[in-house]
Structure 1
Amino acid sequence: MRLLLVEDDNHVAAALSAVLTRHGFSITHARNGEEALDALLPDDAAPLDAILLDLGLPDQDGFEVCSKIRKRTATPVIMVTARADVRSRIHGLNLGADDYVVKPYDTGELLARIHAVSRRTAPGDGAADEAAGTGAIETVLRMGPLVIELPTRQVSVDGATVPLTRKEFDLLALLAQRPGVVFRREQIISEVWRTSWEGTGRTLEVHVASLRSKLGMPALIETVRGVGYRLVAPAA
Protein backbone atom coordinates (compact mmCIF):
# COMPACT_ATOMS: atom_id res chain seq x y z
CA MET A 1 0.00 0.00 0.00
CA ARG A 2 1.37 3.38 -1.02
CA LEU A 3 0.92 6.36 1.34
CA LEU A 4 1.65 10.06 0.98
CA LEU A 5 2.78 11.52 4.31
CA VAL A 6 2.42 15.31 4.44
CA GLU A 7 4.40 16.43 7.51
CA ASP A 8 6.76 19.40 7.88
CA ASP A 9 8.57 18.03 10.96
CA ASN A 10 11.32 15.77 9.63
CA HIS A 11 11.79 13.97 12.96
CA VAL A 12 8.09 13.14 13.24
CA ALA A 13 7.98 12.08 9.60
CA ALA A 14 11.05 9.86 9.95
CA ALA A 15 9.69 8.08 13.04
CA LEU A 16 6.25 7.53 11.53
CA SER A 17 7.69 6.44 8.18
CA ALA A 18 9.84 3.84 9.93
CA VAL A 19 6.80 2.37 11.69
CA LEU A 20 4.65 2.37 8.57
CA THR A 21 7.42 0.82 6.49
CA ARG A 22 7.73 -2.04 8.98
CA HIS A 23 4.03 -2.70 8.44
CA GLY A 24 4.47 -3.00 4.69
CA PHE A 25 3.65 0.54 3.53
CA SER A 26 5.56 2.43 0.87
CA ILE A 27 5.94 6.07 1.98
CA THR A 28 6.31 9.27 -0.03
CA HIS A 29 7.14 12.23 2.22
CA ALA A 30 6.02 15.78 1.39
CA ARG A 31 7.19 18.62 3.66
CA ASN A 32 4.67 21.24 2.60
CA GLY A 33 1.45 21.70 0.69
CA GLU A 34 3.08 22.33 -2.67
CA GLU A 35 5.13 19.14 -2.47
CA ALA A 36 1.99 17.24 -1.48
CA LEU A 37 0.05 18.46 -4.50
CA ASP A 38 2.99 17.68 -6.81
CA ALA A 39 3.11 14.12 -5.43
CA LEU A 40 -0.55 13.31 -6.10
CA LEU A 41 -0.16 11.96 -9.62
CA PRO A 42 3.50 11.19 -10.34
CA ASP A 43 4.18 9.80 -13.79
CA ASP A 44 6.51 7.06 -12.59
CA ALA A 45 4.67 5.65 -9.58
CA ALA A 46 1.61 3.60 -8.70
CA PRO A 47 -1.50 5.48 -7.53
CA LEU A 48 -1.70 6.51 -3.89
CA ASP A 49 -3.84 4.44 -1.54
CA ALA A 50 -4.16 7.07 1.20
CA ILE A 51 -2.86 10.48 2.30
CA LEU A 52 -1.85 11.38 5.87
CA LEU A 53 -2.17 15.16 6.08
CA ASP A 54 -0.84 17.40 8.85
CA LEU A 55 -2.62 20.75 9.11
CA GLY A 56 0.27 22.92 10.36
CA LEU A 57 2.23 23.25 7.12
CA PRO A 58 4.77 26.04 6.47
CA ASP A 59 3.48 27.28 3.10
CA GLN A 60 -0.32 26.93 3.35
CA ASP A 61 -2.95 25.73 5.78
CA GLY A 62 -3.69 22.02 5.72
CA PHE A 63 -7.40 22.69 5.27
CA GLU A 64 -6.60 24.54 2.05
CA VAL A 65 -4.41 21.65 0.90
CA CYS A 66 -7.22 19.17 1.61
CA SER A 67 -9.62 21.23 -0.46
CA LYS A 68 -7.16 21.27 -3.38
CA ILE A 69 -6.55 17.53 -3.06
CA ARG A 70 -10.28 16.87 -3.25
CA LYS A 71 -10.48 18.77 -6.55
CA ARG A 72 -7.81 16.50 -8.06
CA THR A 73 -8.37 13.02 -6.64
CA ALA A 74 -10.70 10.85 -4.55
CA THR A 75 -7.75 9.26 -2.69
CA PRO A 76 -8.67 8.86 1.01
CA VAL A 77 -7.34 11.65 3.24
CA ILE A 78 -6.70 11.21 6.96
CA MET A 79 -5.94 14.46 8.78
CA VAL A 80 -3.28 13.82 11.43
CA THR A 81 -2.94 16.93 13.57
CA ALA A 82 -2.63 18.42 17.04
CA ARG A 83 -5.81 20.47 16.51
CA ALA A 84 -8.22 18.68 18.82
CA ASP A 85 -11.15 21.14 18.89
CA VAL A 86 -14.50 19.97 17.57
CA ARG A 87 -14.78 22.86 15.10
CA SER A 88 -11.56 21.82 13.35
CA ARG A 89 -12.72 18.19 13.19
CA ILE A 90 -16.04 19.15 11.64
CA HIS A 91 -14.41 21.58 9.20
CA GLY A 92 -11.92 18.94 8.07
CA LEU A 93 -14.59 16.30 7.51
CA ASN A 94 -16.82 18.74 5.66
CA LEU A 95 -13.92 19.62 3.36
CA GLY A 96 -13.77 15.97 2.31
CA ALA A 97 -11.33 14.35 4.74
CA ASP A 98 -12.17 10.68 5.29
CA ASP A 99 -10.94 10.60 8.88
CA TYR A 100 -9.39 12.86 11.54
CA VAL A 101 -6.76 11.68 14.03
CA VAL A 102 -5.48 13.88 16.87
CA LYS A 103 -1.83 13.87 17.99
CA PRO A 104 -0.57 12.21 20.08
CA TYR A 105 -2.17 9.05 18.77
CA ASP A 106 -1.75 5.32 19.21
CA THR A 107 0.10 3.84 16.24
CA GLY A 108 -2.12 0.78 16.21
CA GLU A 109 -5.21 2.96 15.94
CA LEU A 110 -3.68 4.96 13.08
CA LEU A 111 -2.88 1.75 11.20
CA ALA A 112 -6.44 0.51 11.72
CA ARG A 113 -7.85 3.79 10.43
CA ILE A 114 -5.65 3.65 7.31
CA HIS A 115 -6.89 0.15 6.51
CA ALA A 116 -10.48 1.18 7.26
CA VAL A 117 -10.57 4.10 4.82
CA SER A 118 -8.84 1.97 2.19
CA ARG A 119 -11.49 -0.73 2.50
CA ARG A 120 -14.31 1.79 2.26
CA THR A 121 -12.97 3.30 -0.96
CA ALA A 122 -11.84 0.12 -2.75
CA PRO A 123 -14.59 -1.23 -5.06
CA GLY A 124 -14.92 -5.00 -4.95
CA ASP A 125 -12.80 -5.41 -1.82
CA GLY A 126 -12.81 -9.11 -0.94
CA ALA A 127 -12.80 -8.66 2.82
CA ALA A 128 -15.79 -6.36 2.64
CA ASP A 129 -17.59 -8.85 0.40
CA GLU A 130 -17.05 -11.66 2.86
CA ALA A 131 -18.14 -9.56 5.81
CA ALA A 132 -21.30 -8.52 4.06
CA GLY A 133 -21.99 -12.06 2.88
CA THR A 134 -23.32 -10.81 -0.45
CA GLY A 135 -20.62 -11.86 -2.92
CA ALA A 136 -18.84 -9.41 -5.20
CA ILE A 137 -19.67 -5.73 -4.83
CA GLU A 138 -21.16 -4.27 -7.98
CA THR A 139 -19.18 -1.38 -9.39
CA VAL A 140 -22.04 0.01 -11.50
CA LEU A 141 -25.48 0.29 -9.91
CA ARG A 142 -28.46 0.58 -12.28
CA MET A 143 -31.91 1.45 -11.04
CA GLY A 144 -34.31 2.47 -13.76
CA PRO A 145 -33.01 5.71 -15.31
CA LEU A 146 -30.44 6.12 -12.52
CA VAL A 147 -26.88 4.83 -13.04
CA ILE A 148 -24.19 5.09 -10.34
CA GLU A 149 -20.61 4.26 -11.33
CA LEU A 150 -18.69 3.61 -8.11
CA PRO A 151 -15.10 3.51 -9.48
CA THR A 152 -15.42 6.84 -11.32
CA ARG A 153 -17.94 8.38 -8.89
CA GLN A 154 -20.17 9.36 -11.81
CA VAL A 155 -23.96 9.56 -11.64
CA SER A 156 -26.37 9.90 -14.54
CA VAL A 157 -30.13 10.01 -15.02
CA ASP A 158 -31.53 9.06 -18.42
CA GLY A 159 -27.98 9.25 -19.78
CA ALA A 160 -27.35 12.82 -18.57
CA THR A 161 -24.51 13.28 -16.06
CA VAL A 162 -25.56 14.75 -12.71
CA PRO A 163 -22.73 16.60 -10.90
CA LEU A 164 -22.67 15.76 -7.20
CA THR A 165 -20.46 16.86 -4.33
CA ARG A 166 -18.28 14.24 -2.64
CA LYS A 167 -20.65 13.82 0.30
CA GLU A 168 -23.74 13.74 -1.91
CA PHE A 169 -22.20 10.90 -3.90
CA ASP A 170 -21.12 9.02 -0.76
CA LEU A 171 -24.64 9.32 0.65
CA LEU A 172 -26.31 8.17 -2.57
CA ALA A 173 -23.87 5.26 -3.02
CA LEU A 174 -24.42 4.09 0.56
CA LEU A 175 -28.21 3.97 0.15
CA ALA A 176 -28.09 2.57 -3.39
CA GLN A 177 -25.97 -0.45 -2.47
CA ARG A 178 -28.89 -1.75 -0.37
CA PRO A 179 -32.09 -0.38 -1.93
CA GLY A 180 -35.15 -0.79 0.24
CA VAL A 181 -33.10 -1.14 3.43
CA VAL A 182 -33.67 1.56 6.05
CA PHE A 183 -30.44 3.24 7.20
CA ARG A 184 -30.58 4.87 10.62
CA ARG A 185 -29.57 8.54 10.70
CA GLU A 186 -26.75 7.76 13.12
CA GLN A 187 -25.45 5.03 10.80
CA ILE A 188 -25.47 7.34 7.76
CA ILE A 189 -23.70 10.11 9.65
CA SER A 190 -21.08 7.65 10.86
CA GLU A 191 -20.50 6.13 7.41
CA VAL A 192 -20.56 9.32 5.32
CA TRP A 193 -19.31 12.02 7.69
CA ARG A 194 -17.17 9.78 9.95
CA THR A 195 -18.53 11.46 13.06
CA SER A 196 -21.24 10.99 15.66
CA TRP A 197 -21.68 14.67 16.38
CA GLU A 198 -25.41 15.39 16.75
CA GLY A 199 -25.28 18.69 14.86
CA THR A 200 -24.47 16.82 11.65
CA GLY A 201 -28.12 15.74 11.48
CA ARG A 202 -29.14 19.01 9.84
CA THR A 203 -26.36 18.57 7.30
CA LEU A 204 -27.77 15.14 6.44
CA GLU A 205 -31.22 16.61 5.82
CA VAL A 206 -29.75 19.26 3.53
CA HIS A 207 -27.82 16.65 1.52
CA VAL A 208 -30.91 14.46 1.11
CA ALA A 209 -32.91 17.43 -0.14
CA SER A 210 -30.11 18.39 -2.52
CA LEU A 211 -29.94 14.85 -3.96
CA ARG A 212 -33.70 14.74 -4.54
CA SER A 213 -33.50 18.06 -6.37
CA LYS A 214 -30.39 17.39 -8.46
CA LEU A 215 -31.54 13.96 -9.56
CA GLY A 216 -35.04 15.20 -10.31
CA MET A 217 -36.38 12.19 -8.42
CA PRO A 218 -38.03 13.42 -5.19
CA ALA A 219 -39.39 9.96 -4.37
CA LEU A 220 -36.01 8.23 -4.74
CA ILE A 221 -34.95 8.73 -1.11
CA GLU A 222 -37.76 8.03 1.33
CA THR A 223 -37.79 9.47 4.83
CA VAL A 224 -38.66 6.88 7.46
CA ARG A 225 -39.93 9.08 10.26
CA GLY A 226 -38.05 8.73 13.51
CA VAL A 227 -35.54 6.28 12.02
CA GLY A 228 -33.68 7.42 8.91
CA TYR A 229 -33.78 7.03 5.13
CA ARG A 230 -33.99 4.37 2.47
CA LEU A 231 -33.64 4.35 -1.30
CA VAL A 232 -36.71 3.31 -3.24
CA ALA A 233 -35.53 1.89 -6.57
CA PRO A 234 -37.36 3.55 -9.48
CA ALA A 235 -39.15 1.50 -12.10
CA ALA A 236 -37.08 0.50 -15.14
Structure 2
Amino acid sequence: MMSQKQILCVEDEAAIVLPLRYALEREGWQVSWANTGTQALLLLSQQTFDFIILDVGLPDLNGFEVCKQLRQKYQTPLLFLTARDDEIDRVVGLEIGADDYCSKPFSAREIVARIKAIWRRMEVQSHNVASHAQISQTEIVIQSATWSCNPQSLQIQYHGQSLQLTRYEYRLLLLLIQHPEQVFNRQQLMDHIWEHPEHSLERTVDTHIKSLRQKLKQITPHDPIRTHRGFGYSLVKYEK
Protein backbone atom coordinates (compact mmCIF):
# COMPACT_ATOMS: atom_id res chain seq x y z
CA MET A 1 0.00 0.00 0.00
CA MET A 2 1.35 3.39 -1.00
CA SER A 3 -1.23 5.35 1.08
CA GLN A 4 -0.39 7.22 4.27
CA LYS A 5 3.29 7.45 3.41
CA GLN A 6 5.06 10.38 5.07
CA ILE A 7 7.23 12.47 2.76
CA LEU A 8 9.55 15.33 3.71
CA CYS A 9 10.17 17.88 0.95
CA VAL A 10 13.16 20.14 1.60
CA GLU A 11 13.02 23.00 -0.91
CA ASP A 12 13.13 26.78 -0.47
CA GLU A 13 11.19 27.73 -3.62
CA ALA A 14 7.43 27.70 -3.09
CA ALA A 15 6.85 27.71 -6.86
CA ILE A 16 8.48 24.27 -6.98
CA VAL A 17 7.03 22.87 -3.76
CA LEU A 18 3.36 23.72 -4.24
CA PRO A 19 2.67 21.78 -7.49
CA LEU A 20 4.90 18.94 -6.30
CA ARG A 21 3.09 18.79 -2.97
CA TYR A 22 -0.26 18.69 -4.78
CA ALA A 23 0.89 15.75 -6.92
CA LEU A 24 2.23 13.84 -3.92
CA GLU A 25 -0.92 14.37 -1.89
CA ARG A 26 -3.02 13.14 -4.81
CA GLU A 27 -1.26 9.81 -4.29
CA GLY A 28 -2.58 9.74 -0.74
CA TRP A 29 0.77 10.64 0.81
CA GLN A 30 1.26 13.09 3.68
CA VAL A 31 3.73 15.88 2.86
CA SER A 32 5.78 18.01 5.27
CA TRP A 33 7.66 21.00 3.89
CA ALA A 34 10.96 22.42 5.17
CA ASN A 35 12.54 25.41 3.41
CA THR A 36 15.95 25.11 5.10
CA GLY A 37 18.32 22.28 5.92
CA THR A 38 18.22 23.16 9.62
CA GLN A 39 14.44 22.91 9.67
CA ALA A 40 14.61 19.57 7.84
CA LEU A 41 16.99 18.07 10.41
CA LEU A 42 14.73 19.30 13.21
CA LEU A 43 11.66 17.67 11.61
CA LEU A 44 13.58 14.41 11.16
CA SER A 45 14.37 14.38 14.87
CA GLN A 46 10.66 14.74 15.67
CA GLN A 47 8.98 12.50 13.12
CA THR A 48 9.58 9.38 11.04
CA PHE A 49 9.43 9.82 7.27
CA ASP A 50 9.17 7.27 4.47
CA PHE A 51 10.91 9.43 1.86
CA ILE A 52 12.93 12.65 1.61
CA ILE A 53 13.09 14.99 -1.37
CA LEU A 54 16.11 17.22 -0.82
CA ASP A 55 17.18 20.28 -2.83
CA VAL A 56 20.94 20.73 -3.18
CA GLY A 57 20.80 24.54 -3.23
CA LEU A 58 19.32 25.48 0.16
CA PRO A 59 19.70 28.95 1.72
CA ASP A 60 21.51 27.75 4.85
CA LEU A 61 23.15 24.33 4.57
CA ASN A 62 24.23 22.75 1.31
CA GLY A 63 21.96 19.81 0.48
CA PHE A 64 24.97 17.49 0.41
CA GLU A 65 25.85 18.51 3.97
CA VAL A 66 22.27 17.91 5.10
CA CYS A 67 22.42 14.44 3.53
CA LYS A 68 25.69 13.63 5.30
CA GLN A 69 24.23 14.65 8.65
CA LEU A 70 20.97 12.76 8.30
CA ARG A 71 22.73 9.62 7.02
CA GLN A 72 24.53 9.42 10.37
CA LYS A 73 21.17 8.58 11.99
CA TYR A 74 18.57 7.79 9.34
CA GLN A 75 18.37 5.42 6.37
CA THR A 76 15.28 7.06 4.86
CA PRO A 77 15.29 6.80 1.04
CA LEU A 78 16.28 10.14 -0.47
CA LEU A 79 16.09 11.87 -3.83
CA PHE A 80 18.18 14.95 -4.63
CA LEU A 81 16.85 17.91 -6.61
CA THR A 82 19.31 20.25 -8.28
CA ALA A 83 19.34 23.10 -10.77
CA ARG A 84 22.59 21.74 -12.19
CA ASP A 85 23.04 18.70 -14.41
CA ASP A 86 26.67 18.12 -13.51
CA GLU A 87 27.88 14.50 -13.42
CA ILE A 88 30.21 15.31 -10.51
CA ASP A 89 27.27 16.56 -8.44
CA ARG A 90 25.30 13.44 -9.29
CA VAL A 91 28.16 11.15 -8.32
CA VAL A 92 28.80 13.01 -5.06
CA GLY A 93 25.12 12.80 -4.18
CA LEU A 94 24.98 9.06 -4.78
CA GLU A 95 28.24 8.49 -2.93
CA ILE A 96 27.00 10.11 0.26
CA GLY A 97 23.79 8.10 0.35
CA ALA A 98 21.19 9.43 -2.09
CA ASP A 99 18.95 6.87 -3.79
CA ASP A 100 18.26 8.95 -6.89
CA TYR A 101 18.94 12.33 -8.48
CA CYS A 102 16.67 14.61 -10.52
CA SER A 103 17.69 17.80 -12.32
CA LYS A 104 15.43 20.84 -12.61
CA PRO A 105 13.18 21.49 -14.41
CA PHE A 106 11.21 18.30 -13.78
CA SER A 107 7.58 17.25 -13.82
CA ALA A 108 5.77 16.28 -10.63
CA ARG A 109 4.73 13.08 -12.38
CA GLU A 110 8.40 12.13 -12.84
CA ILE A 111 9.12 12.62 -9.14
CA VAL A 112 6.13 10.46 -8.17
CA ALA A 113 7.31 7.73 -10.55
CA ARG A 114 10.85 7.83 -9.15
CA ILE A 115 9.60 7.59 -5.56
CA LYS A 116 7.43 4.58 -6.38
CA ALA A 117 10.33 2.91 -8.22
CA ILE A 118 12.65 3.35 -5.23
CA TRP A 119 10.06 1.93 -2.83
CA ARG A 120 9.47 -1.07 -5.11
CA ARG A 121 13.21 -1.71 -5.32
CA MET A 122 13.55 -1.54 -1.54
CA GLU A 123 10.64 -3.96 -1.05
CA VAL A 124 12.26 -6.47 -3.43
CA GLN A 125 15.59 -6.18 -1.63
CA SER A 126 13.96 -6.57 1.79
CA HIS A 127 12.17 -9.67 0.57
CA ASN A 128 15.40 -11.12 -0.82
CA VAL A 129 17.27 -10.44 2.42
CA ALA A 130 14.48 -12.00 4.49
CA SER A 131 14.35 -15.06 2.24
CA HIS A 132 18.11 -15.48 2.40
CA ALA A 133 18.07 -15.16 6.19
CA GLN A 134 15.30 -17.74 6.48
CA ILE A 135 17.10 -20.21 4.23
CA SER A 136 20.62 -19.86 5.65
CA GLN A 137 20.39 -17.92 8.87
CA THR A 138 23.28 -19.78 10.54
CA GLU A 139 25.51 -18.84 7.61
CA ILE A 140 24.99 -15.09 7.83
CA VAL A 141 24.76 -14.52 11.61
CA ILE A 142 28.24 -13.70 12.90
CA GLN A 143 29.29 -13.86 16.55
CA SER A 144 32.97 -13.58 17.40
CA ALA A 145 35.34 -11.65 19.64
CA THR A 146 35.85 -9.17 16.81
CA TRP A 147 32.48 -8.95 15.07
CA SER A 148 28.87 -9.40 16.05
CA CYS A 149 26.22 -8.92 13.41
CA ASN A 150 22.79 -10.14 12.45
CA PRO A 151 21.17 -8.83 9.26
CA GLN A 152 17.74 -9.09 10.87
CA SER A 153 18.68 -6.43 13.44
CA LEU A 154 20.71 -4.33 10.96
CA GLN A 155 23.38 -3.84 13.62
CA ILE A 156 27.10 -4.55 13.53
CA GLN A 157 29.32 -4.49 16.62
CA TYR A 158 33.11 -4.21 16.45
CA HIS A 159 34.97 -5.35 19.58
CA GLY A 160 31.70 -5.09 21.48
CA GLN A 161 30.84 -1.55 20.36
CA SER A 162 27.94 -0.79 18.01
CA LEU A 163 28.81 0.99 14.78
CA GLN A 164 26.72 3.86 13.43
CA LEU A 165 26.71 3.06 9.73
CA THR A 166 24.98 4.40 6.66
CA ARG A 167 22.96 1.98 4.53
CA TYR A 168 25.79 1.32 2.08
CA GLU A 169 28.49 1.21 4.77
CA TYR A 170 26.44 -1.45 6.54
CA ARG A 171 25.96 -3.55 3.41
CA LEU A 172 29.62 -3.23 2.45
CA LEU A 173 30.97 -4.20 5.87
CA LEU A 174 28.49 -7.06 6.28
CA LEU A 175 29.55 -8.57 2.96
CA LEU A 176 33.24 -8.41 3.93
CA ILE A 177 32.54 -9.91 7.36
CA GLN A 178 30.57 -12.77 5.85
CA HIS A 179 33.49 -13.57 3.49
CA PRO A 180 36.74 -12.99 5.42
CA GLU A 181 39.91 -12.97 3.31
CA GLN A 182 37.89 -13.12 0.09
CA VAL A 183 39.08 -10.37 -2.25
CA PHE A 184 36.31 -8.40 -3.97
CA ASN A 185 37.06 -6.04 -6.80
CA ARG A 186 35.24 -2.71 -6.91
CA GLN A 187 32.75 -3.77 -9.56
CA GLN A 188 31.80 -6.88 -7.58
CA LEU A 189 31.22 -4.77 -4.48
CA MET A 190 29.04 -2.31 -6.40
CA ASP A 191 27.01 -5.12 -7.97
CA HIS A 192 26.45 -6.76 -4.56
CA ILE A 193 25.66 -3.63 -2.57
CA TRP A 194 24.49 -0.66 -4.61
CA GLU A 195 20.90 -0.44 -5.75
CA HIS A 196 21.89 1.18 -9.03
CA PRO A 197 25.59 0.41 -9.69
CA GLU A 198 25.24 1.62 -13.27
CA HIS A 199 24.82 5.19 -11.93
CA SER A 200 27.94 5.11 -9.82
CA LEU A 201 31.71 5.04 -10.25
CA GLU A 202 34.35 2.73 -8.82
CA ARG A 203 35.61 5.52 -6.57
CA THR A 204 32.26 5.28 -4.75
CA VAL A 205 33.56 2.08 -3.14
CA ASP A 206 36.81 3.80 -2.14
CA THR A 207 34.84 6.62 -0.51
CA HIS A 208 32.80 4.22 1.61
CA ILE A 209 35.86 2.13 2.56
CA LYS A 210 37.57 5.32 3.76
CA SER A 211 34.53 6.24 5.85
CA LEU A 212 34.33 2.72 7.31
CA ARG A 213 38.01 2.79 8.26
CA GLN A 214 37.56 6.08 10.10
CA LYS A 215 34.68 4.65 12.14
CA LEU A 216 36.55 1.42 12.92
CA LYS A 217 39.68 3.30 13.99
CA GLN A 218 37.64 5.19 16.57
CA ILE A 219 37.33 1.84 18.38
CA THR A 220 40.79 0.37 17.74
CA PRO A 221 43.78 1.59 15.65
CA HIS A 222 44.05 -1.82 13.98
CA ASP A 223 42.75 -1.70 10.40
CA PRO A 224 40.90 -4.95 9.53
CA ILE A 225 40.33 -3.95 5.89
CA ARG A 226 43.04 -4.85 3.41
CA THR A 227 43.60 -2.87 0.21
CA HIS A 228 44.64 -4.85 -2.84
CA ARG A 229 45.99 -2.09 -5.03
CA GLY A 230 44.60 -1.96 -8.51
CA PHE A 231 41.97 -4.55 -7.63
CA GLY A 232 39.83 -4.19 -4.52
CA TYR A 233 39.41 -5.04 -0.84
CA SER A 234 39.16 -7.86 1.66
CA LEU A 235 38.72 -8.29 5.42
CA VAL A 236 41.44 -9.88 7.51
CA LYS A 237 40.64 -13.33 8.87
CA TYR A 238 39.10 -13.38 12.32
CA GLU A 239 38.37 -16.16 14.81
CA LYS A 240 34.86 -17.51 14.26
Give the alignment's TM-score, normalised by structure 2.
0.67
Which residue is 2:155 aligned to?
154
Does the 8 Å CA contact 2:216/2:223 hold for their aligned counterparts? yes
Report which of the two has the higher share of helix: 2
Q: Look up the equivalent residue of 1:27 and give its one-letter code.
A: V
Unpaired runs of 5+ residues, structure 2, are: none
Unpaired runs of 5+ residues, structure 1, are: none
Equivalent of 1:29 in 26, 30, 33: 33
**Structure 1 counterpart SS, 2:148:** strand
Q: 1:103 to 1:150 in 2, by over 3 A?
A: farther
Which residue is 1:12 aligned to?
16
Correspondence 1:1-236 to 2 at 5 A: 1-42=5-46, 47-105=48-106, 107=108, 109-118=110-119, 125=123, 128-129=126-127, 134=132, 141-145=141-145, 146-150=147-151, 153-157=154-158, 160-161=160-161, 163=163, 165-166=165-166, 167-174=168-175, 185-186=186-187, 188-189=189-190, 191-192=193-194, 194=196, 195-200=199-204, 202-203=206-207, 206=210, 218=224, 236=240
Q: Look up the equivalent residue of 2:163 and give its one-letter code.
A: P
Q: Look up the equivalent residue of 2:87 and give its one-letter code.
A: V
| CA distance, structure 2, for counterparts of residue 222 and residue 64 of structure 1 | 28
Q: 1:149 to 1:101 in 2, by over 3 A?
A: farther
Q: 1:2 to 1:28 in 2, by over 3 A?
A: same
Percent of aligned pairs sharing the same letter: 32
> Number of aligned pairs?
225
1:81-133 Cα shifts (integer Å, max 9, x gaps): 22221222232233333332222346555335434544666xxx577426986
| CA distance, structure 1, for counterparts of residue 68 and residue 207 of structure 2 | 19
Does the 8 Å CA contact 1:77/1:99 hold for their aligned counterparts? yes
Quote how far apart the aligned CAs of 1:170 are. Answer: 3.0
Which structure carries more relative contact order (alpha carbon 8 Å, separation 6+)?
A: 2
Quote how far apart the aligned CAs of 1:182 are. Answer: 8.7
Output the aligned Cα RMSD. 4.2
